[in-house]
Structure 1
Protein backbone atom coordinates (compact mmCIF):
# COMPACT_ATOMS: atom_id res chain seq x y z
CA UNK A 1 0.00 0.00 0.00
CA UNK A 2 1.39 3.41 -0.92
CA UNK A 3 2.17 5.97 1.77
CA UNK A 4 -0.26 8.69 2.71
CA UNK A 5 0.64 12.07 1.17
CA UNK A 6 -0.13 15.29 3.06
CA UNK A 7 -0.47 17.68 0.16
CA UNK A 8 -1.80 20.86 1.82
CA UNK A 9 -0.03 21.08 5.19
CA UNK A 10 -0.60 24.78 5.89
CA UNK A 11 -3.79 25.84 7.68
CA UNK A 12 -3.59 29.11 5.73
CA UNK A 13 -4.27 27.24 2.47
CA UNK A 14 -7.46 25.75 3.91
CA UNK A 15 -8.49 29.18 5.22
CA UNK A 16 -7.94 30.78 1.80
CA UNK A 17 -10.22 28.22 0.16
CA UNK A 18 -12.87 28.91 2.80
CA UNK A 19 -12.58 32.66 2.20
CA UNK A 20 -13.01 32.23 -1.56
CA UNK A 21 -16.12 30.18 -0.85
CA UNK A 22 -17.56 32.76 1.55
CA UNK A 23 -17.09 35.55 -1.01
CA UNK A 24 -19.59 34.09 -3.47
CA UNK A 25 -23.04 35.63 -4.02
CA UNK A 26 -25.11 33.16 -2.01
CA UNK A 27 -28.42 34.88 -2.75
CA UNK A 28 -27.84 34.37 -6.48
CA UNK A 29 -26.74 30.82 -5.72
CA UNK A 30 -30.03 30.06 -3.91
CA UNK A 31 -32.03 31.50 -6.81
CA UNK A 32 -30.15 29.30 -9.29
CA UNK A 33 -30.69 26.22 -7.13
CA UNK A 34 -34.41 26.97 -6.87
CA UNK A 35 -34.67 27.64 -10.59
CA UNK A 36 -32.55 24.83 -12.01
CA UNK A 37 -31.51 22.42 -9.26
CA UNK A 38 -27.84 23.31 -9.80
CA UNK A 39 -25.51 26.28 -9.47
CA UNK A 40 -21.86 26.90 -10.38
CA UNK A 41 -19.44 28.54 -7.95
CA UNK A 42 -16.39 29.67 -9.97
CA UNK A 43 -12.85 29.37 -8.67
CA UNK A 44 -13.45 27.51 -5.42
CA UNK A 45 -9.99 25.92 -5.76
CA UNK A 46 -6.82 27.31 -7.33
CA UNK A 47 -5.09 25.43 -10.16
CA UNK A 48 -2.34 24.38 -7.76
CA UNK A 49 -4.87 23.03 -5.25
CA UNK A 50 -6.65 21.15 -8.03
CA UNK A 51 -3.45 19.50 -9.23
CA UNK A 52 -2.41 18.58 -5.71
CA UNK A 53 -5.78 17.01 -4.92
CA UNK A 54 -5.85 15.05 -8.20
CA UNK A 55 -2.31 13.80 -7.48
CA UNK A 56 -3.64 11.89 -4.46
CA UNK A 57 -5.43 9.39 -6.69
CA UNK A 58 -2.62 6.77 -6.90
CA UNK A 59 -1.95 6.84 -3.14
CA UNK A 60 -4.15 4.11 -1.68
CA UNK A 61 -3.53 5.09 1.93
CA UNK A 62 -5.95 8.03 1.53
CA UNK A 63 -8.87 5.84 0.44
CA UNK A 64 -11.20 3.22 1.88
CA UNK A 65 -12.36 1.65 -1.41
CA UNK A 66 -11.75 1.66 -5.16
CA UNK A 67 -14.68 1.33 -7.60
CA UNK A 68 -14.33 0.47 -11.28
CA UNK A 69 -17.58 1.58 -12.88
CA UNK A 70 -17.76 -0.99 -15.66
CA UNK A 71 -17.78 -3.83 -13.13
CA UNK A 72 -21.03 -2.52 -11.63
CA UNK A 73 -22.71 -1.17 -14.77
CA UNK A 74 -22.18 2.44 -13.68
CA UNK A 75 -20.40 3.46 -16.89
CA UNK A 76 -16.65 3.51 -17.54
CA UNK A 77 -14.00 5.13 -15.41
CA UNK A 78 -13.21 4.71 -11.74
CA UNK A 79 -13.33 6.45 -8.39
CA UNK A 80 -12.03 6.11 -4.86
CA UNK A 81 -13.79 6.97 -1.60
CA UNK A 82 -11.63 8.78 0.92
CA UNK A 83 -11.14 7.37 4.39
CA UNK A 84 -11.26 9.39 7.59
CA UNK A 85 -9.50 11.64 8.41
CA UNK A 86 -10.16 13.46 5.15
CA UNK A 87 -7.40 15.60 3.60
CA UNK A 88 -7.54 18.98 5.34
CA UNK A 89 -8.62 20.89 2.26
CA UNK A 90 -11.46 18.52 1.42
CA UNK A 91 -12.69 18.23 5.00
CA UNK A 92 -12.47 22.00 5.40
CA UNK A 93 -14.56 22.60 2.30
CA UNK A 94 -17.13 20.03 3.41
CA UNK A 95 -17.63 21.97 6.64
CA UNK A 96 -17.44 25.39 4.94
CA UNK A 97 -20.14 24.56 2.37
CA UNK A 98 -22.59 23.32 4.99
CA UNK A 99 -23.85 26.64 6.47
CA UNK A 100 -24.63 27.93 2.97
CA UNK A 101 -26.60 24.81 2.04
CA UNK A 102 -28.37 23.64 5.21
CA UNK A 103 -30.91 26.47 5.32
CA UNK A 104 -31.83 26.01 1.66
CA UNK A 105 -32.10 22.26 2.22
CA UNK A 106 -34.49 22.83 5.13
CA UNK A 107 -36.60 25.11 2.93
CA UNK A 108 -36.67 22.47 0.19
CA UNK A 109 -37.80 19.77 2.60
CA UNK A 110 -40.54 22.00 3.99
CA UNK A 111 -41.81 22.74 0.48
CA UNK A 112 -41.76 19.01 -0.38
CA UNK A 113 -43.63 18.06 2.80
CA UNK A 114 -40.66 16.23 4.31
CA UNK A 115 -40.16 16.25 8.08
CA UNK A 116 -36.34 16.05 8.06
CA UNK A 117 -34.50 19.23 9.12
CA UNK A 118 -30.75 19.70 9.15
CA UNK A 119 -28.69 21.17 12.03
CA UNK A 120 -26.56 24.30 11.81
CA UNK A 121 -23.28 22.37 12.02
CA UNK A 122 -22.21 19.58 9.69
CA UNK A 123 -20.59 17.71 12.60
CA UNK A 124 -24.03 17.39 14.21
CA UNK A 125 -25.48 15.91 11.02
CA UNK A 126 -22.61 13.44 10.78
CA UNK A 127 -23.39 12.31 14.33
CA UNK A 128 -26.97 11.65 13.21
CA UNK A 129 -25.64 9.61 10.29
CA UNK A 130 -23.31 7.60 12.51
CA UNK A 131 -26.05 6.96 15.09
CA UNK A 132 -28.14 5.56 12.20
CA UNK A 133 -25.32 3.21 11.16
CA UNK A 134 -24.06 5.39 8.28
CA UNK A 135 -20.41 5.59 9.27
CA UNK A 136 -18.42 5.28 6.02
CA UNK A 137 -17.12 8.57 4.54
CA UNK A 138 -18.46 9.48 1.12
CA UNK A 139 -16.19 12.24 -0.31
CA UNK A 140 -14.52 10.79 -3.38
CA UNK A 141 -12.04 11.34 -6.17
CA UNK A 142 -13.04 10.33 -9.71
CA UNK A 143 -10.76 9.56 -12.65
CA UNK A 144 -11.83 9.28 -16.30
CA UNK A 145 -9.80 8.46 -19.40
CA UNK A 146 -10.61 8.30 -23.13
CA UNK A 147 -13.98 6.65 -23.75
CA UNK A 148 -15.00 6.81 -20.08
CA UNK A 149 -18.36 8.17 -18.91
CA UNK A 150 -20.65 8.07 -15.89
CA UNK A 151 -24.24 6.88 -16.26
CA UNK A 152 -27.07 9.00 -14.87
CA UNK A 153 -27.47 8.20 -11.19
CA UNK A 154 -28.19 9.43 -7.64
CA UNK A 155 -25.82 9.16 -4.67
CA UNK A 156 -28.07 8.08 -1.78
CA UNK A 157 -26.21 5.50 0.39
CA UNK A 158 -28.71 5.21 3.27
CA UNK A 159 -31.89 6.51 4.88
CA UNK A 160 -30.28 9.82 5.87
CA UNK A 161 -29.63 11.80 2.69
CA UNK A 162 -28.63 15.44 2.40
CA UNK A 163 -30.41 16.78 -0.72
CA UNK A 164 -27.42 18.58 -2.30
CA UNK A 165 -23.86 17.62 -3.16
CA UNK A 166 -20.80 19.23 -4.74
CA UNK A 167 -18.47 18.29 -7.60
CA UNK A 168 -15.25 20.26 -8.18
CA UNK A 169 -13.49 19.95 -11.53
CA UNK A 170 -9.76 19.41 -10.90
CA UNK A 171 -8.62 19.14 -14.53
CA UNK A 172 -8.47 21.88 -17.17
CA UNK A 173 -10.92 21.42 -20.07
CA UNK A 174 -9.27 21.67 -23.49
CA UNK A 175 -5.81 21.04 -22.07
CA UNK A 176 -6.12 17.97 -19.83
CA UNK A 177 -9.18 16.49 -21.55
CA UNK A 178 -11.95 17.04 -24.09
CA UNK A 179 -15.55 15.89 -23.78
CA UNK A 180 -16.59 14.86 -20.29
CA UNK A 181 -19.36 17.41 -19.73
CA UNK A 182 -21.27 17.35 -16.45
CA UNK A 183 -24.92 16.51 -17.20
CA UNK A 184 -28.13 16.82 -15.18
CA UNK A 185 -31.57 15.45 -15.98
CA UNK A 186 -34.83 16.52 -14.40
CA UNK A 187 -37.97 14.37 -14.55
CA UNK A 188 -41.23 16.21 -13.83
CA UNK A 189 -44.50 14.31 -13.40
CA UNK A 190 -46.15 13.38 -16.71
CA UNK A 191 -43.42 15.14 -18.69
CA UNK A 192 -40.35 14.01 -20.60
CA UNK A 193 -36.94 14.45 -19.00
CA UNK A 194 -35.18 17.79 -19.31
CA UNK A 195 -31.40 17.71 -19.82
CA UNK A 196 -28.90 20.39 -18.82
CA UNK A 197 -25.17 20.45 -19.57
CA UNK A 198 -23.21 22.43 -16.96
CA UNK A 199 -19.96 23.97 -18.29
CA UNK A 200 -17.11 24.05 -15.75
CA UNK A 201 -13.57 25.42 -15.64
CA UNK A 202 -10.75 24.04 -13.54
CA UNK A 203 -11.44 24.79 -9.88
CA UNK A 204 -15.16 25.47 -10.37
CA UNK A 205 -17.66 23.74 -8.10
CA UNK A 206 -21.15 22.74 -9.15
CA UNK A 207 -23.71 22.22 -6.40
CA UNK A 208 -26.68 20.12 -7.46
CA UNK A 209 -29.72 18.23 -6.20
CA UNK A 210 -28.99 14.65 -5.17
CA UNK A 211 -32.45 13.12 -5.51
CA UNK A 212 -35.52 15.41 -5.49
CA UNK A 213 -36.06 19.15 -5.48
CA UNK A 214 -39.20 21.29 -5.17
CA UNK A 215 -40.74 23.14 -8.11
CA UNK A 216 -43.57 25.64 -7.73
CA UNK A 217 -46.79 24.77 -9.54
CA UNK A 218 -50.35 26.08 -9.70
CA UNK A 219 -51.27 24.05 -6.59
CA UNK A 220 -48.10 24.66 -4.62
CA UNK A 221 -44.74 22.93 -4.73
CA UNK A 222 -44.22 19.44 -6.09
CA UNK A 223 -41.20 17.14 -6.33
CA UNK A 224 -39.10 16.53 -9.40
CA UNK A 225 -36.49 13.79 -9.68
CA UNK A 226 -32.89 14.71 -10.50
CA UNK A 227 -30.04 12.55 -11.81
CA UNK A 228 -26.51 13.44 -12.81
CA UNK A 229 -23.72 11.95 -14.91
CA UNK A 230 -20.75 12.70 -17.15
CA UNK A 231 -20.64 12.47 -20.95
CA UNK A 232 -17.94 10.52 -22.79
CA UNK A 233 -14.33 11.66 -22.52
CA UNK A 234 -12.91 12.16 -26.01
CA UNK A 235 -9.25 12.64 -25.11
CA UNK A 236 -7.06 13.00 -22.04
CA UNK A 237 -7.78 12.47 -18.37
CA UNK A 238 -10.39 14.15 -16.15
CA UNK A 239 -10.30 14.27 -12.33
CA UNK A 240 -13.15 15.44 -10.12
CA UNK A 241 -13.52 15.75 -6.35
CA UNK A 242 -16.97 14.92 -5.03
CA UNK A 243 -18.28 16.20 -1.69
CA UNK A 244 -21.27 14.27 -0.38
CA UNK A 245 -22.52 15.45 3.00
CA UNK A 246 -24.13 12.26 4.34
CA UNK A 247 -22.03 9.21 5.17
CA UNK A 248 -22.81 5.72 3.87
CA UNK A 249 -24.28 2.67 5.57
Structure 2
Protein backbone atom coordinates (compact mmCIF):
# COMPACT_ATOMS: atom_id res chain seq x y z
CA UNK A 1 0.00 0.00 0.00
CA UNK A 2 1.49 3.35 -1.06
CA UNK A 3 1.21 6.45 1.13
CA UNK A 4 -1.36 7.89 -1.30
CA UNK A 5 -3.69 4.93 -0.78
CA UNK A 6 -5.99 4.59 2.20
CA UNK A 7 -8.59 1.81 2.55
CA UNK A 8 -12.03 3.27 2.03
CA UNK A 9 -13.11 1.97 5.44
CA UNK A 10 -10.31 3.91 7.17
CA UNK A 11 -11.06 7.08 5.24
CA UNK A 12 -14.70 6.78 6.28
CA UNK A 13 -13.69 6.12 9.91
CA UNK A 14 -11.39 9.15 10.07
CA UNK A 15 -13.93 11.49 8.56
CA UNK A 16 -16.74 9.99 10.62
CA UNK A 17 -14.78 10.46 13.86
CA UNK A 18 -15.51 14.18 13.75
CA UNK A 19 -18.22 15.74 15.88
CA UNK A 20 -20.56 16.34 12.99
CA UNK A 21 -23.19 18.09 15.09
CA UNK A 22 -20.57 20.66 16.09
CA UNK A 23 -19.38 20.94 12.49
CA UNK A 24 -22.96 21.48 11.28
CA UNK A 25 -23.59 24.07 14.01
CA UNK A 26 -20.44 26.04 13.07
CA UNK A 27 -21.27 25.86 9.38
CA UNK A 28 -24.73 27.21 10.16
CA UNK A 29 -23.28 30.06 12.21
CA UNK A 30 -20.08 30.96 10.36
CA UNK A 31 -20.06 29.15 7.00
CA UNK A 32 -16.95 27.09 7.90
CA UNK A 33 -15.82 24.50 10.46
CA UNK A 34 -12.61 22.60 11.19
CA UNK A 35 -12.53 18.80 11.28
CA UNK A 36 -10.22 16.65 13.41
CA UNK A 37 -7.01 15.37 11.83
CA UNK A 38 -7.85 13.42 8.68
CA UNK A 39 -4.34 12.75 7.31
CA UNK A 40 -1.09 12.02 9.10
CA UNK A 41 2.10 13.94 8.17
CA UNK A 42 3.40 11.18 5.87
CA UNK A 43 0.13 11.16 3.93
CA UNK A 44 0.19 14.95 3.69
CA UNK A 45 3.73 14.88 2.28
CA UNK A 46 2.81 12.13 -0.20
CA UNK A 47 -0.12 14.11 -1.58
CA UNK A 48 1.90 17.34 -1.72
CA UNK A 49 4.66 15.51 -3.62
CA UNK A 50 2.19 14.67 -6.40
CA UNK A 51 2.40 18.29 -7.53
CA UNK A 52 5.55 17.59 -9.54
CA UNK A 53 3.97 14.65 -11.41
CA UNK A 54 2.45 16.61 -14.29
CA UNK A 55 0.71 13.57 -15.79
CA UNK A 56 -1.69 13.48 -12.82
CA UNK A 57 -3.12 16.91 -13.67
CA UNK A 58 -5.30 18.28 -16.46
CA UNK A 59 -4.23 21.92 -16.13
CA UNK A 60 -2.06 24.38 -14.19
CA UNK A 61 -3.18 27.88 -13.22
CA UNK A 62 -0.78 30.75 -12.53
CA UNK A 63 -2.85 32.98 -10.27
CA UNK A 64 -0.90 36.17 -10.97
CA UNK A 65 -1.38 35.76 -14.71
CA UNK A 66 -5.15 35.63 -14.28
CA UNK A 67 -5.19 38.25 -11.50
CA UNK A 68 -6.52 35.68 -9.03
CA UNK A 69 -3.77 36.53 -6.54
CA UNK A 70 -0.27 35.03 -6.53
CA UNK A 71 0.78 31.38 -6.45
CA UNK A 72 -0.13 28.33 -8.47
CA UNK A 73 -2.58 25.46 -8.42
CA UNK A 74 -3.26 22.36 -10.48
CA UNK A 75 -6.48 20.51 -11.25
CA UNK A 76 -6.19 16.74 -10.94
CA UNK A 77 -7.07 14.69 -14.00
CA UNK A 78 -9.29 11.63 -13.93
CA UNK A 79 -8.76 9.07 -12.54
CA UNK A 80 -8.07 10.75 -9.23
CA UNK A 81 -5.33 9.46 -6.90
CA UNK A 82 -6.84 6.82 -4.63
CA UNK A 83 -6.57 8.86 -1.45
CA UNK A 84 -8.19 11.92 -3.02
CA UNK A 85 -11.05 9.80 -4.34
CA UNK A 86 -11.51 7.98 -1.01
CA UNK A 87 -11.60 11.20 0.99
CA UNK A 88 -14.15 12.72 -1.35
CA UNK A 89 -16.36 9.64 -1.06
CA UNK A 90 -16.01 9.66 2.74
CA UNK A 91 -16.98 13.32 3.14
CA UNK A 92 -19.98 13.34 0.81
CA UNK A 93 -22.47 11.42 3.03
CA UNK A 94 -21.49 13.56 6.03
CA UNK A 95 -22.05 16.80 4.13
CA UNK A 96 -25.22 15.69 2.37
CA UNK A 97 -27.65 16.16 5.32
CA UNK A 98 -26.31 19.68 5.88
CA UNK A 99 -26.69 20.52 2.19
CA UNK A 100 -30.27 19.24 2.16
CA UNK A 101 -31.10 21.14 5.35
CA UNK A 102 -29.83 24.40 3.87
CA UNK A 103 -31.73 23.83 0.63
CA UNK A 104 -34.94 23.22 2.55
CA UNK A 105 -34.57 26.39 4.61
CA UNK A 106 -33.77 28.45 1.52
CA UNK A 107 -36.59 26.84 -0.50
CA UNK A 108 -34.15 25.68 -3.13
CA UNK A 109 -34.03 22.38 -5.03
CA UNK A 110 -31.95 19.64 -3.38
CA UNK A 111 -30.92 17.52 -6.38
CA UNK A 112 -28.17 15.59 -4.61
CA UNK A 113 -28.76 11.82 -4.44
CA UNK A 114 -27.59 9.53 -1.65
CA UNK A 115 -24.26 8.62 -3.27
CA UNK A 116 -21.45 10.69 -4.75
CA UNK A 117 -21.31 8.37 -7.76
CA UNK A 118 -24.92 9.17 -8.66
CA UNK A 119 -24.38 12.90 -8.17
CA UNK A 120 -21.26 12.94 -10.36
CA UNK A 121 -23.24 11.09 -13.02
CA UNK A 122 -25.77 13.93 -12.93
CA UNK A 123 -22.92 16.46 -13.24
CA UNK A 124 -21.57 14.62 -16.27
CA UNK A 125 -25.02 14.48 -17.86
CA UNK A 126 -25.15 18.26 -17.42
CA UNK A 127 -21.87 18.67 -19.30
CA UNK A 128 -19.64 18.92 -16.21
CA UNK A 129 -17.17 16.04 -16.51
CA UNK A 130 -13.76 17.57 -15.76
CA UNK A 131 -12.16 17.12 -12.35
CA UNK A 132 -12.39 20.13 -10.02
CA UNK A 133 -10.08 18.63 -7.35
CA UNK A 134 -7.23 21.04 -6.69
CA UNK A 135 -3.69 20.92 -5.33
CA UNK A 136 -2.54 24.42 -4.39
CA UNK A 137 0.99 25.69 -3.74
CA UNK A 138 1.93 29.05 -2.22
CA UNK A 139 5.35 30.55 -1.47
CA UNK A 140 6.44 33.78 0.26
CA UNK A 141 4.29 36.72 -0.89
CA UNK A 142 1.60 34.50 -2.47
CA UNK A 143 -2.10 34.88 -1.73
CA UNK A 144 -5.51 33.96 -3.13
CA UNK A 145 -8.18 36.53 -3.95
CA UNK A 146 -11.69 36.14 -2.58
CA UNK A 147 -13.74 33.92 -4.89
CA UNK A 148 -16.24 31.08 -5.21
CA UNK A 149 -15.63 27.63 -6.77
CA UNK A 150 -18.69 27.30 -9.01
CA UNK A 151 -17.93 25.48 -12.25
CA UNK A 152 -21.36 25.12 -13.84
CA UNK A 153 -25.07 24.88 -13.05
CA UNK A 154 -24.66 21.65 -11.05
CA UNK A 155 -23.28 22.81 -7.69
CA UNK A 156 -22.79 21.12 -4.32
CA UNK A 157 -22.99 23.80 -1.62
CA UNK A 158 -20.10 22.63 0.60
CA UNK A 159 -16.45 21.81 0.01
CA UNK A 160 -13.33 20.88 1.98
CA UNK A 161 -9.72 22.07 2.06
CA UNK A 162 -7.06 19.97 3.83
CA UNK A 163 -3.79 21.48 5.06
CA UNK A 164 -0.69 19.61 3.86
CA UNK A 165 1.95 21.69 5.68
CA UNK A 166 2.29 22.74 9.32
CA UNK A 167 1.60 26.43 10.08
CA UNK A 168 4.26 28.02 12.25
CA UNK A 169 6.78 25.37 11.18
CA UNK A 170 6.59 25.06 7.40
CA UNK A 171 5.16 28.52 6.74
CA UNK A 172 3.79 31.67 8.36
CA UNK A 173 0.80 33.74 7.32
CA UNK A 174 -1.49 32.09 4.78
CA UNK A 175 -4.66 32.06 6.88
CA UNK A 176 -7.85 30.83 5.23
CA UNK A 177 -10.21 33.79 4.79
CA UNK A 178 -13.98 34.02 4.49
CA UNK A 179 -16.05 37.15 3.92
CA UNK A 180 -19.82 37.23 4.26
CA UNK A 181 -21.85 39.91 2.54
CA UNK A 182 -24.67 40.89 4.88
CA UNK A 183 -27.80 42.76 3.73
CA UNK A 184 -27.92 46.41 4.78
CA UNK A 185 -24.74 45.94 6.87
CA UNK A 186 -20.96 45.85 6.56
CA UNK A 187 -19.39 42.60 5.36
CA UNK A 188 -18.16 40.20 8.05
CA UNK A 189 -14.77 38.49 7.73
CA UNK A 190 -13.11 35.57 9.49
CA UNK A 191 -9.72 33.85 9.32
CA UNK A 192 -8.73 30.27 10.16
CA UNK A 193 -5.27 28.78 10.60
CA UNK A 194 -5.43 25.37 8.93
CA UNK A 195 -3.54 22.69 10.92
CA UNK A 196 -1.63 20.05 8.97
CA UNK A 197 -3.84 17.08 8.12
CA UNK A 198 -7.04 18.75 9.29
CA UNK A 199 -9.89 19.68 6.98
CA UNK A 200 -11.90 22.86 6.84
CA UNK A 201 -15.45 22.42 5.60
CA UNK A 202 -16.84 25.63 4.11
CA UNK A 203 -19.64 26.92 1.96
CA UNK A 204 -19.18 27.02 -1.79
CA UNK A 205 -21.17 30.22 -2.34
CA UNK A 206 -23.51 31.14 0.57
CA UNK A 207 -24.95 29.96 3.87
CA UNK A 208 -28.46 29.98 5.29
CA UNK A 209 -29.14 33.00 7.53
CA UNK A 210 -32.18 33.48 9.75
CA UNK A 211 -34.14 36.58 8.79
CA UNK A 212 -37.36 38.31 9.76
CA UNK A 213 -39.16 36.38 7.02
CA UNK A 214 -37.60 33.01 7.78
CA UNK A 215 -34.34 32.23 6.03
CA UNK A 216 -32.25 34.00 3.42
CA UNK A 217 -28.94 33.30 1.66
CA UNK A 218 -25.82 35.04 2.94
CA UNK A 219 -23.34 35.28 0.04
CA UNK A 220 -19.80 34.25 1.00
CA UNK A 221 -16.40 34.18 -0.68
CA UNK A 222 -13.15 32.59 0.41
CA UNK A 223 -9.44 33.20 -0.15
CA UNK A 224 -6.00 32.98 1.47
CA UNK A 225 -4.05 35.76 3.19
CA UNK A 226 -0.47 36.52 2.16
CA UNK A 227 2.07 33.82 2.99
CA UNK A 228 4.88 35.57 4.85
CA UNK A 229 7.47 32.78 4.76
CA UNK A 230 7.89 29.14 3.78
CA UNK A 231 5.64 27.00 1.61
CA UNK A 232 1.91 26.36 2.09
CA UNK A 233 0.22 23.51 0.19
CA UNK A 234 -3.38 22.37 0.42
CA UNK A 235 -5.74 19.84 -1.13
CA UNK A 236 -9.13 21.12 -2.26
CA UNK A 237 -12.06 18.69 -2.42
CA UNK A 238 -14.98 19.92 -4.51
CA UNK A 239 -18.10 17.77 -4.75
CA UNK A 240 -19.15 18.73 -8.25
CA UNK A 241 -17.16 18.39 -11.45
CA UNK A 242 -16.37 21.23 -13.85
CA UNK A 243 -17.73 22.10 -17.28
TM-score (norm 1): 0.94
Distance 1:130 1:220, change over 3 A: same
Is 1:98 paired with 2:87? no
**2:229 aligned partner:** 235
Residues in 1 aligned to 2:124 and 2:78: alpha-carbon distance in whole angstroms:
13
Cα shift at 1:120: 0.7
Superposition pairs for residues 9-88 of structure 1, below 5 Å?
Answer: 10-12=5-7, 14-88=8-82
Shift of 1:55: 0.6
Deviation at 1:10, TM superposition (A): 4.9
**Residue of structure 2 equivalent to 1:192:** 186
The 1-side partners of 2:2 and 2:66 are apart by 31
1:8 maps to which of 3, 7, 14: 3
Whole-Å separation in 2 of the counterparts to 1:94 and 1:48: 19
Residue in structure 2 matched with residue 143 of structure 1 by the alignment: 137
- Equivalent-residue separation in structure 1 for 2:74 and 2:48 (angstroms): 11
Q: Please state whether the residue corresponding to 2:194 is helix, strand or coil.
A: coil
Gapped runs of 5+ residues in structure 2?
none
**In structure 1, how many angstroms separate the alpha carbons of the residues matched to 2:227 and 2:71?**
10
- How far does residue 107 in structure 1 lie from its aligned partner after superposition? 1.1
Q: Does 1:107 align with 2:107?
A: no
Separation of aligned partners in 2, 1:11 and 1:45: 10
Mapped partners of 1:185, 1:11: distance in 2: 34
Residues 225-234 or 116-125, more deviating: 116-125
- Looking at structure 2, the residues matched to 246 and 194 of structure 1 have their Cα atoms a distance apart, in angstroms, of 27
**C-alpha separation between the residues in 2 aligned to 1:77 and 1:186?**
24
Asked whether the 8 Å contact 1:188–1:223 carries over to 2, the reply is: no
CA displacement, residues 105-157 of structure 1 (integer Å, 9 cap, x when unaligned):
01111111212331110011000000000000111100000100000000001
After TM superposition, the runs of 4+ consecutive aligned structure 1 residues lying more than 2 A away are 6-12, 14-18
Alpha-carbon distance between aligned partners in 2 of 1:10 and 1:104, rounded to the nearest angstrom: 28
Count of residues paired in the alignment: 243
User: 1: CA distance between counterparts of 2:91 and 2:68?
Assistant: 27
Taking a change above 3 Å as real, the CA distance of residues 231 and 11 of structure 1, as seen in their structure-2 partners, is closer
RMSD between aligned residues: 1.3
CA contact (8 A) 2:132 2:240 kept: yes
The answer to whether the 8 A contact 2:4-2:83 is kept is no
C-alpha distance 49-15 of structure 1, shift in aligned 2 (>3 A):
farther
User: How far did 1:9 drift?
Assistant: 6.0
